[in-house]
Structure 1
Amino acid sequence: MAVLQSGDYKKAETLFGQFTTKWSRSVYRPDALFWLGSSQYAGEKYKSAFDTQNRLIRSYPKHPRVPDAMLSVAASQAALGNLQAARNTLKKIQTQFPKTEASKEAEARLKTLR
């Protein structure tokens, strides 16, 4: 985590990727996937971030990180130029997770997404 916070996104991506592979049955794997996707996004690897966060969402649909992973998916979609898909993802967050901070953030992003 400190590596990601330091801004060394490439190293963070490597470390989180290794963790998700080596400890594939760990209870911390969903969190590692989330931070892997976050590292990829911060390093402007938007397609990889999109794929990683979707892997988290598909593999652990009830995990508490899912709403935030969906925010990351929407951000990746927007960065890749797919604004309609980003809007749809943000609306889905509001529908599936209405009383969360992610839902509030989705509402704010919908207002500014052009």
Structure 2
Amino acid sequence: MRFQRFETFIDKFPKSIYIPNAHYWLGQLLFNKAMYPEAQMHFDKVISLYPDSNKRSDALLKQGTVLQKLGDNAGAKKLFQQVVDEYPESNSANLAKSRLLTKG
């Protein structure tokens, strides 16, 4: 499975500067396969363990999208607003703003 390479990298190189990216992209692959709880776990690792990662704003946005898919619109809205508040000039914030507008 494609996920195995990311999992192997995470296991073999836990101190690598690329670990946040590996978690993000593994989460993205899982999201694309509609494996939402598994994707959520990897996005959460980026958000909570790597606050300085350049993938954190993207992970927050995707985590909000995961929550939407799981039916938690209030949780999704909170995360979208967090992206806008913490990363106002980012592409992720622009996408989050559009999600906030369409989801009320």
Alignment TM class, shorter chain as reference: over 0.9
Residue number in structure 1 paired with 2:5: 15
Residue 7 of structure 1 corresponds to which residue in structure 2? none
Superposed displacement of residue 51, structure 1: 1.2
Q: Residue type of the partner of 2:60?
A: M
Report deviation, 1:61.
Answer: 0.4
What amino acid is the match of 1:96? Answer: E
Find runs of 4+ consecutive structure 1 residues off by over 6 angstroms: none
What TM-score does the superposition give when structure 2 sets the normalisation length? 0.94
Unaligned runs of 5+ in 2: none
1:55 to 14, 20, 45: 45
Aligned-partner residue type, residue 20 of structure 2: P
Q: Give me the identity figure in percent.
A: 25
- The CA deviation at 1:18 is 1.5
Residues 1-114 of structure 1 mapped to structure 2, 5 A cutoff: 11-113=1-103
Q: CA RMSD in A?
A: 1.1
Separation in 2, partners of 1:18, 1:42: 20
Offset at 1:12? 2.5
CA distance in 1, matches of 2:56, 2:36: 18
Unaligned runs of 5+ in 1: 1-10
Structure 1 letter corresponding to 2:12: K
TM-score (norm 1): 0.86
